[in-house]
Amino acid sequence: MGIRFRRRIKLAPGVHLNASGSGLSVSAGPRGASMTFGGRRGTYMNMGVPGTGLYARERVGVGSLHGASGGRERGSAEMSVSVSVEDDGTVIFKDADGNPLSEQLVKQTKEQGKDEIRTLLQTACDEINERISSLEEIHLSTPSPFEPPMYTSIPFQSPKPVDPVTVRYGLLAKLFKSKRKEVDELNEKSRSAYQCELESWTERLREHNARERVRKALFEEKVHFDLAAMEIVLEDTLMDIVWPRETLLSSEIRDDGSLVMIDVDLPEIENLPSKTATVPSRGYKLSIKELSATRQQQLYMRHVHGIAFRIIGEVFCILPKVEEVVLSGYTQRPDASTGEIQDQYLYSVSVKRDEWSGINFACLKDVDPTEALGRFAIRREVSKAGKFRAIEPYMCGANAS
């Protein structure tokens, strides 16, 4: 009796395992588009528009398994199999009820989908390691102060109403005036509703374009001299940054726009990921390893300084009037004398625009943000083990603190 696996299983964002009688396969891609590999019938590109019911499937390659026919075998039993990668890197095979598969079925599943399962293992491995690299490389997206960005307009999302389809006279309408009147009234009702929708849409479009003109003026003109515009641009820019970990901050523009003060609520070292993974050459289990204490401290140092590096760079890029940025990073820690949780500052750095311009922004991959911030006026105390001691932050520019 043959065994047919048919369930599509999600293992990771955009990645799925498809197990069927014609072989296991893996799908990868964003919602609405995917490519399926490894089936007996070949490789297919699947395209769809979410929420519309529109769907298309096109063959783009040949199958990797023997045989041209994928028809169901007579008398074959059907069952669903789920495949998942656990936190310790183990691959788990279960049936539709969540029960572990027998050794025989696990063996058969591995035989059918060896390459595809290892591809999924590699995907899981990459995702685990990406959590580490995204923390260490956050400064790589820092913009150059020499190329202030142009404002990017926000497109109007609402689609324009579509002209209604005119209902034509049928046979009865051609014969009877009353029927023609019904059709005419229906068309008039549709046309009237369309005109109302069109007028509403046109007004919303007009309001959107007016807002865009105002925002464009803020970002490209008023930001050079208007303090209120500077505050709006700064807040919008910092809010748009995508951080790998939740990052909270507050800002204040002083001295008629020449000084920006920023406080950043830094993550705790205990909240950062602490594992890396590798795919072994043999077997079906990721090799998961804990970072050493030293490596974790290095990661934390690079990340919290990378946060400051990125924010300072954003400020100098979008606010041409700013000549100095004072940024202080703090975290919540228990006070040794009371046990109460208090804000404790780990570092405070004051950076002048002319000093910041000395960084080679074309080669940020060669820049260590921890070392880079050390070039400026900075307060920080770090033990030989890499642990921060609380400091008093700058309350204004370093020269006047």
Residue 387's pLDDT is 86
Structural domain span for residue 77: 3-136
Residue 41's pLDDT is 47
Judge whether 54 lies within some domain: yes
- 130 and 17 in one domain? yes
Judge whether 274 lies within some domain: yes
Using DSSP bridges, classify how beta strands 15-20 and 91-95 pair: parallel, antiparallel or unpaired.
unpaired
Judge whether 10 lies within some domain: yes
- 232 and 114 in one domain? no
Query: Identity (one letter) of the amino acid at 230?
Result: M
In whole angstroms, give the CA distance from residue 24 to residue 37: 9
Instruction: Out of 136, 166, 187, pick the residue that ends a domain.
Output: 136
Using DSSP bridges, classify how beta strands 388-389 and 377-382 pair: parallel, antiparallel or unpaired.
antiparallel
Residue 92's pLDDT is 86
- 100 and 239 in one domain? no
Q: Which residues of the chain register pLDDT less than 50? A: 1-56, 58, 60-76, 400
Judge whether 158 lies within some domain: no
CA 398 to chain centre: 36
Judge whether 176 lies within some domain: no
Judge whether 325 lies within some domain: yes
Given its phi and psi angles, is residue 253 left (phi above 0), alpha (psi -120 to 50 degrees) or beta? Answer: beta
Judge whether 300 lies within some domain: yes
Coarse DSSP helix, strand, coil percentages of the chain, rounded to the nearest 5 percent: 40, 30, 35
> CA-based Rg of the chain, rounded to a whole angstrom?
30
- 253 and 118 in one domain? no
- Residue 99 half-sphere exposure, CB side, CA atoms within 13 Å? 6
Tell me which H or E stretch contains 202: helix 177-220
In whole angstroms, give the CA distance from residue 282 to residue 87: 19
* Per-residue buried b or exposed e for 313-327, using 16+ beta carbons within 10 Å of the residue's own CB: bbbbbbbebbbbbbb
DSSP string, 133-200: HHHHTGGGGPPPTTSPPPP-PPPP-SPPPPPPPPPPP-HHHHH-HHHHHHHHHHHHHHHHHHHHHHHH
Contact between residue 73 and residue 84 where contact means Cβ atoms under 8 Å apart: no
- 231 and 129 in one domain? no
Instruction: Out of 80, 101, 136, pick the residue that ends a domain.
Output: 136
In whole angstroms, give the CA distance from residue 20 to residue 34: 17
Residue 79's pLDDT is 61
Which residue has tokens 């204490």?
Answer: 293
In whole angstroms, give the CA distance from residue 113 to residue 19: 8
Judge whether 86 lies within some domain: yes
In whole angstroms, give the CA distance from residue 56 to residue 78: 26
Instruction: Out of 111, 136, 161, pick the residue that ends a domain.
Output: 136
Helix (H, G, I), strand (E, B) or coil at 42: strand
- 346 and 245 in one domain? yes
What total number of domains does the chain contain? 2
- 244 and 389 in one domain? yes
Residue 167's pLDDT is 87
- 376 and 235 in one domain? yes
Contact between residue 34 and residue 8 where contact means Cβ atoms under 8 Å apart: no
In whole angstroms, give the CA distance from residue 277 to residue 287: 5
In whole angstroms, give the CA distance from residue 401 to residue 261: 13
365 secondary structure, DSSP code: G
Residue 59's pLDDT is 52
CB neighbour list of residue 395: distance below 8 Å, 6 or more residues apart: 401
User: What Cα–Cα distance (Å) separates residue 380 from each residue in 179, 305, 335, 336, 376?
Assistant: 86, 11, 18, 19, 12
- 130 and 262 in one domain? no
- 234 and 359 in one domain? yes
**CA max distance for the chain:** 98
236: closest CA among 318, 305, 155? 318
- 232 and 348 in one domain? yes
